[in-house]
């Protein structure tokens, strides 16, 4: 095989991947997801209500909080304090329009730290004005060309 036709490392099959079927790999993944979920439930002292839409590894409900598997995994792997994930979840629910990811919350960022930058729109046809957070979230009438010009100028 010449250098130009050599497959990348990501495409090279391993002995394990060559010997397993998709259903066997899925079973292993499902088992890992179950282990993470069980550990999370033990740590947080909650019960899992079930995967939404029966999509294991998607969104699960715990004590009225809908959490993604990625957030569950992050909570365990970063050894976040017990209950922090629920404080983060409800902080995001109670502050619609301002949201932060769980990783940033674990690292200390809080929604109260997000200060919007406000502009007054000079366009008399712009009813909602324009607000942008430092994280790029745009509220109000984002389609107003005057607002967009002010945002781009900043």
Give pLDDT tens digits for 97-138.
788 999 999 999 998 888 765 656 665 555 554 444 444 545
pLDDT string in tens for the chain (154-residue length): 545 555 555 556 666 667 889 999 999 999 999 999 999 999 999 999 999 999 999 999 998 999 999 999 999 999 999 999 999 999 999 987 788 999 999 999 998 888 765 656 665 555 554 444 444 545 544 455 556 655 555 5
Q: Which of 60, 36, 58, 57 is nearest to 48 (CA)?
A: 60
Q: Which residues contact 147 (CB under 8 A, 6 or more apart)?
A: 119, 121, 123, 126, 129, 130, 140, 141
């Amino acid at each position: 095989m010449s250098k130009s036709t050599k497959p990348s490392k990501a495409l090279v099959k391993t002995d394990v991947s060559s010997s397993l079927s998709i259903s066997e790999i899925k079973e292993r993944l499902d088992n890992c997801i179950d282990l993470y979920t069980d550990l999370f439930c033990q740590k947080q002292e909650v019960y899992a209500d079930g995967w939404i839409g029966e999509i294991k590894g998607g969104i699960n409900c715990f004590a009225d909080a809908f959490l993604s598997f990625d957030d569950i995994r992050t909570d365990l792997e970063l050894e976040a304090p017990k209950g922090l994930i629920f404080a983060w979840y409800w902080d995001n629910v109670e502050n619609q329009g301002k949201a932060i990811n769980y990783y940033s919350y674990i690292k200390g960022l809080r929604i109260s730290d997000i200060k919007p930058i406000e502009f007054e729109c000079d366009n008399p046809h712009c009813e909602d004005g324009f607000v942008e957070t430092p994280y790029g979230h745009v509220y109000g009438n984002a389609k107003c060309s005057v607002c967009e010009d002010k945002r781009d100028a900043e």
